[in-house]
């Protein structure tokens, strides 16, 4: 009972804050609502016993991604009000598409109520639950590098491509920038940097 | 503790070669800088050839490895060879162009290699997870190389447009995959097929539609084609050649494997979708290309149309139809690579031309190039006895055998419309007043155009090797 109450609490706040993300006028409040949505999604994960995923969501998405968003939103000078200016213009077409989608979804859900068997999940769908006494962090660790080794490595290559791509598209070597070259600094000797001059008395340099 | 045994390395040898090789090339480039771009380019070509040899020497039996994420069968080998050929030709043709445009960075061949690795993963995918990761690896590298000419507004626009729309299509694919996973409880293709055989609900069709939408985007089939003309036109020409060839092979392989291998139980459900997509692609490819002035845009619409013809074979839903898809796409690959070798040869000094009118009088300044170029366009139009005609013959034959008469008839009619603009190019080459003469072709372009012409012109003399290989490959899927 308590679990159900918490589910509706988390799910409700999650959807409401997701709505506020796209409805917010100020991009900074949008990002803050996004963080709230992440926190509530993490709460949902805790409810189904996936505490590792919940922690990852908070650490990675709230701790890194959302903060990065906030940085970018605050640093770049984008006039979001101007971006949304054409919104009303597209509203009729958008609303039409949305209504068609809504009708279709209602029809699909209607058939589900008429024929509950069509929602039947195939046997074995909820299999592979970790054995008793194994935390889900351990369970993920056990399959990540064994059963899903292939996908794991392939995902690593996707990240590599992202990195190479970012460098190819944005890195520019500027010619007139002075950079610290430690090797050059260390290699300096007294012969190259100190010049001894004999200054004759009473004559100056 | 789940015990795991590494399968014999031979199963993934081509993928391993590309993966390790691309890392090594990345290191060479990082250490030696852009001076090494020629070396990296050559080594990338060698790697692709080695991977091709490794694919050719893999045994004929079907092997499933890595706990049902990877499958190797005759079907996969056929498509892998096509994808490797497409990538190798694109890398070989790119060098001259990038040097002249001052874009010769070592990252280009490395990104093409990584993209090709993604294609091989897609072709051998045996679970929804690998399908997605392979697709994303392939696409992400292509988004980058489409924007490779980063100081050119058209090129960056092409990359950005492709990226945004590609991300949308990935979202649809993932949504469909999650529905399928939720309803069958497995991401492994064979388990999904088994669960399906025991009946399915409405929601499952919902998931299937989203998966088809995501995959149709990758072969630029109507109604998911919007990105194609702009991206083809904006991207540097060797990138366009790559885009038109290799990724189409992998995405087509994936569509055929998913629909024929995973969802054969609901063929009546997806058949109508594929029939519609094929019809719309053929029609749009034919009619929209008529008004084009840019060769690259023309090739974009041409590729949309050709993917439509290939899907006609898939719509049949029979082993014969799959064989027709294999033959059609192989011929399309050869013809497209030849056409792009010709386009890349149209150069005055450092200026590459892009307008169809610039082809005027090519027959007088370069008779050999003009002849092969014209024959390739005849083949695109489907004029016998060149290879393109036989490709169409096989797909329409399969459609008629399956009783899809309307589809076949409309397909023939649209190919008549398409013949108009292909023949117009030939007319401009042979009968219009010549403009500035072009410089002679480089040996690499000659080689690609020559190899392509051999396939296009001599297929009717000796069709057995390709048709036989396609038959074996198609059989391994059933």
- pLDDT mean over B236-249: 94
Query: Is the pLDDT score of A128 beyond 60?
Result: no
Identify the contact set of chain A against chain B, taking CB-CB distances under 8 A.
108, 111-112, 115, 117-127, 142-143, 146-151, 153-155, 157-158, 160-162, 164-165, 167-169
The ipTM is: 0.91
CB contact under 8 Å between A164 and B195, yes or no, is no
> How confident is the model at residue A171, as a pLDDT?
86
Give CA separation, A144 vs A130, A138, B122, B124, B131, in Å. Answer: 14, 10, 20, 20, 17
Note the pTM of the prediction, 2 decimals.
0.88
**A169–B150: do the CB atoms touch at under 8 Å?**
yes
In B299-357, DSSP assigns E strands to 347-348, 351-352
Least CA distance to B141: which residue of chain A?
Answer: A161
Residues 6+ apart with CB under 8 A from B448: B89, B92, B93, B337, B338, B341
CB contact under 8 A, A148 and B67: yes
Of A111, A151, A167, the CB nearest to B133: A151
What is the 3-state secondary structure of B131-178?
HHHHHHHHHHHHHHHHCCCCCCHHHHHHHHHHHHHHHHHHHHHHHHHH
Mean pLDDT of chain B: 91
The nearest alpha carbon in chain B to A168 belongs to B107
Cβ of B133 within 8 Å of Cβ of A112? The answer is no
pLDDT confidence of residue A115: 62
| Chain A positions in Cβ-Cβ contact with residue B167 (cut-off 8 Å) | none
Distance from CA of A154 to the nearest CA of B (A): 7
Q: What is the pLDDT of residue B206?
A: 83
pLDDT in tens, A37-93: 999 999 999 888 888 899 999 999 888 888 888 888 888 776 666 666 666 777 788
Q: Cis before residue B223, ω within 30 degrees of 0? A: yes
Q: How many CA atoms lie within 13 A of B441 on its CB side?
A: 25
Q: Please name the member of A119, A120, A151 whose beta carbon is closest to the beta carbon of B69.
A: A151
The beta-carbon neighbor of B130 closest among A146, A151, A168 is A151
Q: What is the pLDDT of residue B7?
A: 58
Task: Answer whether B281's CB lies under 8 Å from B247's CB.
Answer: no
Tokens matching residue A46? 């805790």
**pLDDT, average across residues B256-280:** 90
B7 to chain A: closest CA residue: A150
Q: Does B2 contact A164 at a Cβ distance shorter than 8 Å?
A: no
Q: From residue B202, how far is each of A121, B209, B317, B387 by CA, in Å?
A: 12, 11, 21, 42
Q: How far apart are the first and last CA of chain A?
A: 94
Strand, helix or coil for residue A193: helix
Over 60: is that where the pLDDT of A123 sits? no
Confidence of residue B1 (pLDDT cuts 50, 70, 90): very low
Chain B residues with CB under 8 Å of A146 CB are 2-4
Q: Report yes or no: A21 and A34 within 8 Å, Cβ to Cβ.
A: yes
Determine whether the interchain pair B1/A142 forms a contact, defined as Cβ–Cβ distance below 8 Å: yes
- The closest CB to that of A122, out of B4, B147, B183, belongs to B183
Note the residue count of chain A.
Answer: 205
Q: Identify the closest residue of chain B to A131 by CA–CA distance.
A: B1
pLDDT digits (tens, 9 = 90+) for A176-188: 888 888 888 888 8
Tell me if B148 and A168 make a contact (CB, 8 A cut-off). yes
Closest Cβ opposite residue B133 in set A118, A158, A162: A158
Task: Kindly give, in sequence order, each residue whose CB lies less than 8 Å from that of residue B100, ignoring residues fewer than 6 positions away.
Answer: B347, B350, B352
Task: Out of A118, A147, A168, name the one closest to residue B107 (CB).
Answer: A168
Q: Do A146 and B26 count as a contact with CB atoms less than 8 A apart?
A: no
Of all residues in chain B, the one with the smallest CA distance to A151 is: B130
Tell me if B141 and A147 make a contact (CB, 8 A cut-off).
no
Among A47-51, B143-147, B217-221, B301-305, the range scoring the smallest mean pLDDT is: A47-51
- Cβ separation of B137 and A149 shorter than 8 Å? no
Give me the helices (H) in A76-148, please. Answer: 80-83, 87-114, 136-144
Q: Does the beta-carbon distance from A165 to B111 stay under 8 Å?
A: yes
Q: Is the pLDDT of residue A149 over 70?
A: yes
């Amino acid at each position: 009972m308590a679990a159900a109450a918490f589910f509706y609490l988390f799910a409700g706040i999650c959807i409401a804050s997701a709505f506020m993300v796209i409805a917010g006028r100020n991009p900074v409040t949008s990002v803050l609502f996004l963080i709230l949505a992440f926190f509530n999604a993490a709460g949902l994960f805790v409810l189904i016993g996936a505490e590792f995923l919940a922690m990852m969501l908070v650490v990675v998405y709230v701790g890194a991604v959302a903060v990065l968003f906030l940085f970018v939103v605050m640093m770049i000078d984008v006039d979001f009000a101007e971006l949304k200016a054409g919104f009303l213009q597209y509203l009729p077409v958008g609303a039409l598409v949305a209504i068609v989608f809504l009708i279709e979804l209602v029809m699909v859900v209607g058939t589900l109520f008429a024929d509950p068997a069509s929602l039947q999940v195939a046997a074995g769908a909820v299999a592979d639950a970790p054995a008793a006494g194994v935390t889900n962090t351990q369970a993920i660790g056990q399959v990540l590098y064994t059963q899903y080794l292939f996908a794991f490595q392939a995902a690593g290559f996707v990240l590599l491509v992202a990195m190479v791509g970012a460098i190819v598209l944005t890195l520019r070597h500027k010619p007139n920038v002075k950079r610290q070259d430690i090797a050059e600094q260390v290699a300096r000797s007294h012969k190259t940097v100190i010049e001894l001059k004999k200054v004759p008395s009473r004559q100056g340099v | 503790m789940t015990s795991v045994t590494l399968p014999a390395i031979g199963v993934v040898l081509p993928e391993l070669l590309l993966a390790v090789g691309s890392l090594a090339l990345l290191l060479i480039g990082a250490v030696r800088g852009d001076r090494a771009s020629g070396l990296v380019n050559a080594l990338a070509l060698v790697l692709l050839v080695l991977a091709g040899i490794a694919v050719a020497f893999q045994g004929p039996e079907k092997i499933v490895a890595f706990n049902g994420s990877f499958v190797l069968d005759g079907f996969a080998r056929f498509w892998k060879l096509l994808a490797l050929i497409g990538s190798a030709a694109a890398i070989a043709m790119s060098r001259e162009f990038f040097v002249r445009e001052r874009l010769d960075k070592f990252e280009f061949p490395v990104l093409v290699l990584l993209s090709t690795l993604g294609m091989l993963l897609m072709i051998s995918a045996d679970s929804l997870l690998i399908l997605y990761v392979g697709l994303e690896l392939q696409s992400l590298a292509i988004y980058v190389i489409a924007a490779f000419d980063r100081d050119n507004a058209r090129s960056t626009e092409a990359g950005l447009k492709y990226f945004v729309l590609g991300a949308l299509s990935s979202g649809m694919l993932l949504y469909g995959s999650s529905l399928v996973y939720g309803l069958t409880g497995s991401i492994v293709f064979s388990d999904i097929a088994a669960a399906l055989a025991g009946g399915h609900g409405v929601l499952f069709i919902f998931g299937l539609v989203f998966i088809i939408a995501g995959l149709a985007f990758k072969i630029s089939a109507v109604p998911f084609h919007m990105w194609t003309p702009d991206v083809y036109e904006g991207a540097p020409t060797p990138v366009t050649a790559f885009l038109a060839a290799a990724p189409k092979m992998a995405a087509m392989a994936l569509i055929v494997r998913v629909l024929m291998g995973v969802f054969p139980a609901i063929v009546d459900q997806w058949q109508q979708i594929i029939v519609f997509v094929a019809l719309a692609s053929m029609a749009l490819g034919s009619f929209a290309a008529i008004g084009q002035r840019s060769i690259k845009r023309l090739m974009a619409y041409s590729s949309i149309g050709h993917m439509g013809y290939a899907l006609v074979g898939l719509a049949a839903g029979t082993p014969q139809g799959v064989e027709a898809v294999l033959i059609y796409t192989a011929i399309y690959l050869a013809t497209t690579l030849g056409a792009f070798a010709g386009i890349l040869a149209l150069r005055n000094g450092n200026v590459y031309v892009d307008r169809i009118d610039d082809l005027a009088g090519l027959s007088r300044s370069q008779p050999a190039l003009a002849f092969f170029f014209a024959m390739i366009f005849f083949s695109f139009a489907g004029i016998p006895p060149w290879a393109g005609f036989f490709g169409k013959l096989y797909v329409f034959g399969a459609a008629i055998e399956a009783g899809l008469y309307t589809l076949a008839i409309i397909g023939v009619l649209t190919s008549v419309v398409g013949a108009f603009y292909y023949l117009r190019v030939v007319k401009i080459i042979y009968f219009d007043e010549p403009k500035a003469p072009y410089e002679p072709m480089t040996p690499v372009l000659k080689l690609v155009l020559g190899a392509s012409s051999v396939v296009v012109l001599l297929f009717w003399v000796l069709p057995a090797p390709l048709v036989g290989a396609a038959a074996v490959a198609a059989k391994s899927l059933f």
